[in-house]
Chains A and B, each alone.
Chain A
């Protein structure tokens, strides 16, 4: 297969057709002759090109992949066409999600300590929306469940990966309790937990959650 222009257009065709973010690896699987650096370079070139062309959509890097997405100013029209209400999450749900995103792997008990209130109902909603997943169980009495975020979470909130979560503002005023709260990288997974059934797959697909209740 030729390089340059055609590679770019082939990748564009894949992105155009896909209904979820495509990773460079998935793209490479369709283009065995292209080298990973070439693919990455081409993706970046496409990103710049769409920006320059000033179309209604852009190529966004989300959830460790690339996806064509409309620009925000077209949302009202798209919503009208879809005849649907925009995604909404209540404030308590967003707060719970924020805690899980930064503190994962985290136990429900710990989320409740931070929010100061029962989160059972909210956790159920977040699991149903596939924003949160059960990562395993902790080796503690009662073997409590461990929660973390999903690929879908990254996709919905326009995040490339967990490493691109903005840093938490530190609590400065207390000398003793200052803590560096770095966002968690994918490798930073717990070692002291026993995963049930399936341990996180190396590919780390959105659907590796033990309990995925929704289709998407």
Chain B
């Protein structure tokens, strides 16, 4: 499978260790790539290099087989970008902005497609930039990033300020785009936001890419957390000793049992059923915990 984005030792440092350092990115074509990391980890710096806003200090990068700095104009013709917290130009409403972008891109159909996306995201195109809420600014940014049908879409925290229903709708939209053979780079600080839609994920932490893997592999390695409530019989942590891949079991005073585990969940569910589980709740695990778990896994493998 060819790569839409490839980088080797890609680096831009604002100060030593601050920015993005030695990134070896590999974003497969036709997939959704979740670019994950806590705030300030270096995701936006990497995206700025990929979109020609800043020039890499070291390393090499190819985006759609183009050099983002040298071939910026040709690249911008083929990509759609939503920057982090992208504002809406205050003098424009959505309609006039779409017309302007259609004219700049010499693609008149941008307006019509923009309307279709706006309708799908319930965005009112008649409001001016300064009248839009954070969520609506994000929607407008998404519409302008998608309306020219780019081959590669780079979205920096696109679901900020959006309600869960819209987040889900955007996930569906991005999956449709990937199913058409186009590529999406989706940056987020939330694993939960990304795992429903991504095929691949890359983790960046303290300016460095620490892991890059297919989502299926992550499912095997990431830590999950589930909570069980049981019937009348008290359940102890030791009752789960026979279940493989559990990592920490706590039993609350009210009898609720929280289990952290990695890999397939079948054995855990079977055991919980045997013990008389009445309810089960799955809880998202914070990204930082996933990082730590991945590190722990790496150390265990390495030791």
A binds B: no
Instruction: State the B residues within 8 Å of A (CB).
Output: none
